[in-house]
């Protein structure tokens, strides 16, 4: 039996507001769960990003934050921790993942470049495009990159490929992990071309858990993590996910030249290089968060929660994506509402109205990915109990049972970029 490896010391009360208020709230939010005020939400599964519960060690260490302008204490403890756990000599903190993407791709991507990946998150894709690059998703088995298609692409266009970007885990491909075998094959292939690999390692611990599990746990979990990081020349991560923090991001590299260039750009755009715009106290929280995410009992329970929700929904014959990934359960909304134009938004709205549960909507026509519109039930880390997840499964089950009653939606507003986060709808007549 897998039991949470923590006990609760501080609680945040949550309330299910009355049915009529939930109905009004989703209408006012244009039937887009991203636009709901969080105070109207009972159980929030819209994202696992920045939503973790911090530990006593993390919160306690924040009082040690050295709020000096330059080269504060946190920078040095961060550098030591990154060297120890990930093997990189150079590290720079920033306020979140996309800030690093913005700076890194400004430096590395030029007009006409092609950026192959196993699949990119929305922000990553848009930032590459804004810098004149063309992101190309080459999804393979699970969260892998398709080596065969990459080989063909390299043969035809290796001159225009400055790096390969691997997302660990592959968020837009159902949170599935990249395998060690895929990383080995990729590394072998790229040696011929002298093209570096960059990791978006925002969910590295979850990715490495699956590798650790298949390796039958012959090694320590943290040694598997170090081995996986040895396949990248440069890594960035949003520490709002596996960093177990409410904010932050880290850039790590073995290249002194790239490190120096990132320092120049970030000093203009984000903040002094030793903190990148983060208060030092958050850097202490990141250091302790990374330490805790590498604990074997933590990561085992984390994945267990995702598997548990997945099983509860599967038992109710809900069309979930199989197998479950590391941070969320994905429901293929188009299978439940096949003749809806926006099945994800329609289903998510109904789940909110029924039980006060907020889920994320991704994929489909509004996203630049070729996946169907799906809802993502992301599980915040260390926040909800198994009982909360049972409630979620009950609500989703009863919504799906009455699926034919779910109203269709028409679009009323569409932003130019990052469309799923800002789109608004109304009920069709």
Residues making contact with ligand F0G (CB under 6 A)? 47, 49, 96-98, 121, 123-124, 167, 171, 200, 202, 238, 240, 249
Structure tokens at 12: 């945040």
Asked if 366 contacts 423 with a C-beta cutoff of 8 angstroms, the reply is yes
SS3 374: strand
Distance between CA 208 and CA 120 in Å, rounded? Answer: 19
- Smallest separation, CB 205 to ligand F0G (Å): 13
CB nearer to ligand F0G: pick between 127 and 406: 127
- Smallest separation, CB 9 to ligand F0G (Å): 27
Structure tokens at 96: 């979140």
CB nearer to ligand F0G: pick between 249 and 344: 249
Is the omega angle on the peptide bond into residue 169 within 30 degrees of 0, that is, cis?
yes
Residue of minimal CB distance from ligand F0G? 97
Per-residue CA distances from 222 to 69, 218, 226 (Å): 33, 12, 6
- Smallest separation, CB 249 to ligand F0G (Å): 5
CB nearer to ligand F0G: pick between 48 and 350: 48
Strands 197-200 and 234-238, by their bridges, are parallel
Residue 134: other Cβ atoms inside 10 A = 15
CB nearer to ligand F0G: pick between 343 and 360: 360
- Smallest separation, CB 280 to ligand F0G (Å): 19
Per-residue CA distances from 160 to 132, 139, 140, 186, 382 (Å): 12, 20, 22, 18, 43
Partners of 115 in the β-ladder: 135
CB nearer to ligand F0G: pick between 242 and 406: 242
CB nearer to ligand F0G: pick between 65 and 249: 249
Structure tokens at 340: 């809806």
Distance between CA 292 and CA 243 in Å, rounded? Answer: 9
DSSP string of 248-310, one letter each residue: -EEEEES-HHHHHHHHHHHHHHT--TTTTT--HHHHHHHHHHHHHHT-HHHHHHHHHHHHHHH
CB nearer to ligand F0G: pick between 330 and 340: 330
Distance between CA 102 and CA 202 in Å, rounded? Answer: 15
CB nearer to ligand F0G: pick between 47 and 182: 47
Buried b / exposed e over 114-128, threshold 16 CB at 10 Å, is bbbbbbbbbbbbbbb
Phi/psi at 185 (nearest 5 deg)?
Answer: -65, -40
- Smallest separation, CB 128 to ligand F0G (Å): 12
Q: How far apart are the first and last CA of the chain?
A: 50
- Smallest separation, CB 310 to ligand F0G (Å): 18
The single-letter DSSP state of residue 34 is G
CB nearer to ligand F0G: pick between 154 and 198: 198
CB nearer to ligand F0G: pick between 154 and 357: 357
DSSP string of 186-222, one letter each residue: HHHHHHHHT--EEEE-TTHHHHHHHHHHHTTT-S-HH
- Smallest separation, CB 404 to ligand F0G (Å): 30
- Smallest separation, CB 401 to ligand F0G (Å): 28
- Smallest separation, CB 317 to ligand F0G (Å): 27
- Smallest separation, CB 121 to ligand F0G (Å): 4
CB nearer to ligand F0G: pick between 72 and 124: 124
- Smallest separation, CB 217 to ligand F0G (Å): 26
């Amino acid at each position: 039996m897998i039991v949470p490896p923590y006990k609760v010391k501080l609680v945040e009360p949550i309330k299910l507001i009355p049915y009529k208020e939930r109905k009004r709230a989703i209408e006012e939010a244009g039937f887009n769960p991203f636009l709901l005020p969080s105070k109207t939400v009972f159980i929030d599964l819209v994202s696992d990003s920045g939503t973790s519960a911090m530990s006593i060690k993390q919160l306690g260490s924040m009082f040690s934050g050295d709020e000096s302008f330059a080269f504060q204490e946190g920078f040095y403890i961060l550098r030591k921790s990154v060297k120890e756990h990930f093997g990189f000599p150079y590290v720079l903190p920033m306020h979140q993942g996309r800030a690093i993407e913005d700076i890194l791709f400004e430096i590395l991507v030029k007009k006409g470049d092609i950026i192959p990946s196993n699949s990119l998150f929305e922000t990553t894709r848009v930032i590459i495009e804004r810098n004149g690059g063309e992101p190309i998703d080459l999804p393979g088995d699970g969260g892998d990159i398709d080596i065969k298609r990459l080989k063909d692409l390299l043969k035809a266009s290796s001159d225009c490929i400055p790096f390969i970007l691997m997302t660990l885990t592959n968020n837009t491909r159902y949170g599935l992990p990249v395998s060690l075998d895929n990383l080995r094959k990729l590394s072998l292939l790229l040696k011929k071309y002298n093209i570096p690999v960059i990791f978006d390692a925002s969910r590295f611990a979850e990715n490495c858990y699956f590798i650790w599990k298949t390796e039958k746990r012959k090694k320590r979990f943290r040694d598997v993590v170090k081995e996986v990081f040895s396949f990248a020349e440069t890594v960035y991560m949003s520490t709002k996910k596996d960093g177990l923090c409410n904010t932050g991001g880290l850039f790590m590299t073995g290249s002194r030249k790239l490190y120096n260039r990132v320092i120049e750009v970030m000093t203009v755009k984000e903040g002094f290089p030793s903190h990148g715009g983060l208060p030092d106290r958050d850097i202490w929280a990141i250091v302790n968060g990374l330490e805790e995410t590498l604990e074997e009992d933590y990561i085992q329970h984390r994945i267990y929660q995702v598997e548990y929700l997945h099983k509860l929904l599967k038992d109710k014959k809900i069309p979930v994506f199989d197998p479950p990934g590391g941070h969320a359960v994905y429901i293929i909304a188009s299978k439940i509402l096949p003749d809806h134009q926006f099945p994800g938004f329609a289903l998510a709205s109904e789940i909110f109205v029924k039980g006060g549960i907020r889920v994320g909507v991704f994929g489909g026509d509004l996203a630049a990915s070729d996946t169907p519109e799906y809802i993502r039930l992301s599980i915040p880390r260390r926040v909800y109990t198994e009982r909360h997840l049972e409630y979620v499964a009950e609500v989703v089950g009863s919504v799906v049972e009455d699926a034919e009653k779910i109203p269709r939606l028409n679009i009323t507003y569409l932003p130019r970029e990052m469309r799923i986060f800002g789109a608004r709808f109304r009920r069709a007549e």
